[in-house]
Amino acid sequence: MSLRELEQAVPALLDIRSAERRNIDWEFIQRETGVVLPPDFVALAETYPPFTVNDFLGLHIPSPGEEKYFLAGVQELLGNLAELRNAGMSHGHVPFPEPGGLLPWGDSSEGDVFYWKTSEADSASWSVLVSGRNDDWCAYAGGMTSYLAGLVRGTVPPDGLPPEFPSSTPVIEAD
């Protein structure tokens, strides 16, 4: 799904849209992670600052010149997942960069974590996996922007998330 389709599903995004391309150092992020992040995420991050949806879901979007802080946040969540795995509580999921590892792109105010399930295939084909705070692990076969748009439109069930999330007209706040 394209950024435009997400904007159609969540028109409040347009209120925080950057006037110019944000110019994130993707080469630095790629050197540090070893992967090219999904194109829908790159388009979103080049257009929007980090933001939250309904004061619940925070998207981890790098800021120009602060890419190392973005990566530090990713590493912290990967460490948390490694701890879950080591305790036998990750339902077989492993942290990136292990093969098929999970790479976080967001989290909630209630402890849910939103991941890409990576693969050796092009990152455009990575799927979404949500680790709910109640030990729910819910998969979505599409990409991040498709998942978000589907949540708002009601075509993607909010499995593992509060039933009232998201609202049909979500409030978007830049961080």
Domain ranges, ordered by start, for the chain:
3-174
Measured over the CA atoms of residue 152, residue 156, residue 159 and residue 164, the dihedral's sign is positive
pLDDT tens per residue across all 175 residues of the chain: 589 999 999 999 999 999 999 999 999 999 999 999 999 999 999 999 999 999 999 999 999 999 999 999 999 999 999 999 999 999 999 999 999 999 999 999 999 999 999 998 899 999 999 998 888 899 999 999 999 999 999 999 998 898 889 888 999 999 8
Q: 93 by DSSP, 3-state: which?
A: coil
Instruction: Please list, residue by residue across 28-49, b when 16 or more beta carbons sit within 10 angstroms of its beta carbon and e when fewer do.
Output: ebeeebeeebbebbbebbbbbb
Could you tell me the pTM of the whole model? 0.95
- Closest Cα partner for 61 from 20, 98, 109, 114? 114
Q: Specify the CATH number of the domain 3-174.
A: 3.40.1580
Q: Is residue 67 within 8 Å of residue 44, measured between CB atoms?
A: no
Helix %, strand %, coil % for the chain, to 5? 35, 20, 45
